Amino acid sequence: MLRHLPPIADPAVLVGTATQDDAGVYLVTPEIALVQTVDVFTPVVDSPYWFGAIAAANAMSDVYAMGAAPRLALNIAGFPRNRLPLDVLGEIFRGGGDKCTEAGVAVIGGHTIDDPEPKFGLAVTGFVHPGRIVTNATARPGDRLVLTKPLGMGVITTGIKQERTTPETAEAAIAIMAALNRGAAEAMLEVGVSAATDVTGFGLLGHLHEMTRAAGVRAHIHADAVPVLEETWALVRAGAVPGGTQRNREAVAHAVLWDGVSEDAQVILCDAQTSGGLLIAVPEARLEQLRAALRRREVSVVAVIGEITEPGSGAITVSMR
């Protein structure tokens, strides 16, 4: 659909719609580039407060994925004012606002429309030195792939809607989705990495495929090294698989070679994530430095899940080990 947008002529636009990157980037001065993104979705958890917090963490994630620091945000909401008490909207704003405060982001306004289904998200603005932008298009053969949050959020939130997910797992998933990717972004900036993206709606393999295709490389994923929240396996067996996850699997089928990987694991590797972790491509020589920098910032998951293998057209091989 992006081809229906006008072509970008302004040379100050450093990253626009031509690449499948996480956010747009605009050069303000030789020292300052502005990074902009927007994300909105329908409730993924029952608590309005945590829905707001997760939506905010998710919206800021695209700024972190570019190596930038978010600073400003505008709320965007849809709300059925005749069907739900306004306090619910207040709780959504409070959750989003607390998350923005934690990130050092000022919420400077917003807009709400009457809408039969609640929706919430933010337009987020951040800043980065133009020489330090991290794109998703520059992974190189020999890079190792590091993931900073476990998979399973699409399956678990579908399980919540179907009343199959246990309260313990729902709580764990909320904490994971509401966690900022700030520590991961700061660690990758400190160490210097080849490329990064955040894992969201297209799932791990969908976002990895964007990286490999853009860079003209191939990748290898070790399925048993990919962190997964434990109950996800049982929920997949029970059929709690979102439509987006199934579509992701079909969308990457042409590019993925499955080598002895179970059906359930294939589903999870394509599971549509909400506010997932960063997927970072780092030169082998800096891997240990990155791991240490991530741990120092208390990033809870630091998983080395595979590597960029060779030049190519974006194909991904997934094997068990």
- Where on the chain is the footprint of Co ion (CB under 5 A)? 22, 39, 62, 198
| Amino acid making up residue 108 | I
Task: Give min distance, CB of 167 to Co ion, in A.
Answer: 29
**Ramachandran region, residue 131 (left: φ > 0; alpha: ψ -120 to 50; beta: rest):** alpha
CA distance 174 to 53: 9
- Judged by beta carbon, residue 266 or residue 275, the one nearer Co ion is 275
Q: Which is nearer to Co ion, 45 or 279 (CB)?
A: 279
Nearer to Co ion, 136 or 169 (CB): 136
Q: Cβ closer to Co ion: 61 or 165?
A: 61
Q: Which is nearer to Co ion, 67 or 159 (CB)?
A: 67
Whether 38 and 121 have beta carbons less than 8 Å apart is answered as yes
Q: How far is the CB of 198 from Co ion (least distance, A)?
A: 4
What is the nearest approach in angstroms of Co ion to the Cβ of residue 154? 15
- Max Cα–Cα distance, the chain, nearest Å: 58
19 beta partners: none
CB of 181 to Co ion, least distance (A): 10
Phi and psi at residue 86, in whole multiples of 5°?
Answer: -60, -25
Of the two residues 135 and 165, which places its CB atom closer to Co ion in the complex? 135
Residue nearest to Co ion (CB): 22
What is the C-alpha to C-alpha distance for residues 77 and 275, in angstroms, rounded to an integer? Answer: 18
Between 60 and 235, whose beta carbon lies closer to Co ion?
60
Least spacing, CB of residue 219 vs Co ion, in Å:
18
- Residue 205 CB, shortest distance to Co ion, in Å, is 15
* Least distance (Å) between residue 197 CB and Co ion: 6
Burial of 319 (0-12, 13-18, 19+ CB in 10 A): middle
CA distances from 202 to 103, 214, 243 (A): 25, 15, 11
* Cα dihedral sign, 253-224-163-277: negative
Distance CA 156, CA 253 (A): 23
